[in-house]
Chain A
Amino acid sequence: MTPVTVNGRRYNINLPDDTPLLWALRDELGLTGTKYGCGMALCGACTVHVDGQVVRACQTPISAVSGTKVTTIEAVGTDRVGRALQAAWVDMGVPQCGYCQAGQIMAATALLKRTPKPTDAEIDDAMSANICRCGTYVRIRSAIKQVAAAGQSGATR
């Protein structure tokens, strides 16, 4: 049994310790918003926050997150920055197929919480670990900049 706190709720996960957080979230907890894309931390589709830091859930064993706070796309909207980014994503029509966008939003949220006014280079650095095969990058950049410009990326409430 591995105790894990996800989105403010405590779970005891009855899977081998080395099970990646990704599959525990998806198959065991039913939190399918976190996506599988590569299984090797190459694409960012499985991006979640562990104590506010960006983590690729596919390469993170559940034993490593015991005693931490995991946040997934399902709860990132409770955060002011996450919520502003979600709204900007919808408003600017960022998603195409939408599959990678959970990971994109998790990465963008962590970026703006750390760097409220990122430069283009900082956006590229933070976001280039997240692949979008539909090619929505230009709009992702615009949406991040819009939220940053609107001052919605400051300190959390």
Chain B
Amino acid sequence: MSARGTEGVTDRPLVLANVSRRGFLQGMTAAGGFILAAGFSSVARAADPPKYGADGMPNGWVDDPLVFVAIAPDGTVSITCHRSEMGQGVRTGMPMIVADELEADWKRVRVVQAPGDEKRFGNQDTDGSRSTRHFFTPMRRCGAAARTMLEAAAAKRWGVPVSEVEARNHEVVHAKSGRRAGYGSLAKEAAQQPVPARDSVRLKDPSKFRYIGKGQTKLVDGPAMVTGKAQYGIDTRLPGMLYAVVARPPVYGGKVVSVDSTETLKVPGVLKVVEIEASPAPAHFNPVGGVAVVARNTWAAIQGRRVLKVTWNDGPNGSYDSAAFKSAMEESARKPGKVVRDNGNVDGAMAGATKKIEAEYYIPHLAHAPMEPPAATVRISGSKAEVWGCFQSPQATKDLVAKRLGLQPADVTVNVTLLGGGFGRKSKPDFAIEAAVVSKAMEGKPVKLTWTREDDLMHTYFHTVSVEHLEAGVDAQGKPVAWMHRSVAPTLFSTFVEGAKNEHALELAMGVINVPFAIPNIRIENPEATAHTRIGWFRAVSNIPHAFAVQSFVAELAAAAGRDPKDFLLEVIGPARRITPEELSDGWNHGESPEKYPVDTGRLRRVVETVAREAGWGRQMPKGRGLGIAAHYSFVSYVASVVEVAVDDQGVISVPRIDIAVDCGATVNPDRVSAQMQGAAVMGLGIATLGEMTFKEGRAQQDNFHTYEVTRMSGAPRETRVHIIPGDYAQPMGGVGEPGVPPIAPALCNAIFAATGKRIRRLPIRDQLKA
């Protein structure tokens, strides 16, 4: 059985790719470096000219058709997708863009997954809801350039001016003479044509799009997914492959003191135990260390680990207790902290206000829990290594595996499989480095290293934990005149930078610092918090706690004022206006240009108005039912949700319906936009009602789905209606994968308030409504 679920691009017998013009259309590249800071480098290094969007990402973008498009003599068009598929539909969406401009017949397109190689393909770091907004235009140019080369080849063959021929649905047509030539027959000659200069490439008028924006294109991986043929990281199989699982330090920063593998080595099928060196904190993307058990199959490795005796030194985080930490964070949140935005005179306005209202919100640590846990396979041969796995960041995987093995990155091939969910977890290639260490210890034999569910939950890069403290001064009508928000949360930068204790600019810019409210006096503070576990980014990141607090608090102010929550929210947002991120003290703006991407309160208002209208806001609800609304701007998209909740007399919650309005600009694959919103609704409900990772003595307390619960079908909405605001292809696009999540928890809690009068300020809800 082939291990290559995704085919490499280097060995294709395809004609158009044969001419090497690598780098001809290489895009602008940023300085690279720290992967997370990408898009922030322009701010960090003020002397450099600012670079935004894809330009600001390491290795930027590439739009060379010879890199992405290959046409075989039989007319099959192979389009390379350089971004990782984790359920967002990128392996359908990216090739659709190219195919549309190329005038390719979708039925004759196949999709090839790029290996990790950003010099060749441009940035491949698939997170931040960036793929479509960063690569829509480069991929259009790529397809259009290939189409131009096919047209030029046909014109040359027929001896007619290129202006007289036209590419149309997989063939080039000369209308005057009625001659036509299929793409397959033209491929070889087209490859001899120069790649047109970028500025000369003619893009289609959007009215001529065949696939983009139509919602008719089925998932390229759909048939493989429903028949069991789809290959995920955990499915890799190689001849002579060994299997490994790892016993990791139960506490972040812990180390192995001693290992007794006597019983382990007696387990049938177990071959060896291999120590993986711990990385000093901060862990970055490095393994946390531990002891690997290598066996002839996964089960034997798991059985071997069960009887492995390891003595650990827990290190400084051995006393981490999440309940005590919550109290400590609350204490910090009640005292002044670092001021990160200050408009007007908050103290003066508070003093002069008719009434002061305050509330505090808590969201615990969360684990991503992708259904496919992390898994990677490595094989080493001499100075070369091959890696297979479910990677959101294949270039980081390549660089870090090379570094750990002492090889050149160019000698490490990273094959990207499908990802069985990612949610940010698989951005961190620690599991690939573990597999590399074990393969090396096994003389380079192929080793598949699988994380069990217990490993995944207890050793992930946890979503941060946060206390959000809000105060408002309101006038006689209940209108806020002063707004003070203290956000306390260990920063994900603590995983990368020793001693980081304040939220980073990119975390603050996720809905706490950049609230675009029409309130004259606003102060945002960020007291310090120390991380005691490995913090990482989780789908929608800091937008989750920030949106929960801000959108709950606005609803609390509305209730205090005796106002309709939707009308009140619109009033707080204020009139339609375009606010520069700078005015909001936001120096990050999701890495996007402040000119192209101001915060547009008109768009925020529109999603609120749209979702309210579509959900039938204001309709009469029976006893125990309620509607709640919330809106949030994130990943340069605007989303508002209305959740309808039913709370029975036992305090059990069900959700008959969720409406979501999303303005992400123009769309490539609207069906996938809907799918992402539907999925975000389910994940958002899980965060609100069930999800919590707690710690005692530094150890994560939840180890499988019975203790770390996620939403099941019985808890899912009966119905989710998604309303996509039509966009203009001439305007910049927004993100889709993440922005659906943040408004769900506050909308649900606002609905619960409407249904029961009970205000939820601490997530998850669990049994807080039980009588």
Contacts and interface: CB of A to CB of B under 8 A. Distances in A.
A33 interface: yes
A134 B228 contact: no
Contact of B87 (A72, A98, A129, A138): A98
A136 B678 contact: yes
Interface residues of B, number: 67
A137 B452 contact: no
Contacts of B713: 123-124, 127-128, 130, 132, 137, 140-141
B712 A35 contact: no
B208 interface: no
Interface in A61-117: 72-74, 77, 85-86, 89-91, 93, 95-102, 105
A98 B717 contact: no
Nearest to B715: A128
Interface stretch (B414-422, B460-468, B627-635): B414-422
A10 interface: no
B679 A136 contact: yes
Where chain B touches its partner, the secondary structure class is: loop
B704 A42 contact: yes
A27 B299 contact: yes
Nearest to B679: A135
Interface string B112-145: 0000000000000000000000000000000000
Contact of B371 (A16, A35, A141): A35
B370 A26 contact: no
Contacts, number: 189
Nearest to B452: A39
Contacts of B716: 135, 137-138
A27 B243 contact: yes
Contacts of A89: 222, 225-226
B518 interface: no
Interface string B200-241: 000000000000000000110111111111111011010000
B219 A90 contact: yes
Interface residues of A, number: 60
Contacts of B243: 27
A98 B679 contact: no
B453 interface: yes
Where chain A touches its partner, the secondary structure class is: loop
B720 A105 contact: no
A77 B762 CA distance: 46
A131 interface: yes
B705 interface: yes
Nearest to A72: B228
Interface string B421-444: 111000000000000000000000
Contacts of A140: 713
Nearest to B677: A135
A89 B420 CA distance: 17
A43 B219 contact: no
A153 interface: no
Nearest to B228: A33
**Interface hub of B371, B450, B453, B681 (most chain A Cβ within 10 A):** B371
B371 A133 contact: yes
Given A97-B87, A97-B420, A139-B675, A74 B705 contact: no
B710 A131 contact: yes
B69 interface: no
Contacts of A139: 675, 678
A64 B369 CA distance: 30
B680 interface: yes
A3 interface: no
A42 B705 contact: yes
Given A15-B299, A133-B683, A138-B678, 17 more contacts: A16-B268, A19-B299, A27-B297, A28-B297, A77-B227, A89-B225, A90-B226, A95-B222, A96-B89, A96-B675, A97-B370, A98-B230, A128-B714, A130-B712, A132-B713, A135-B711, A136-B678
| Shortest Cβ-Cβ A-B pairs, 10 listed | A33-B228, A135-B682, A99-B420, A98-B225, A97-B87, A96-B87, A73-B228, A135-B679, A137-B716, A23-B299
7 contacts: A99-B418, A124-B714, A131-B371, A131-B712, A132-B713, A133-B369, A135-B680
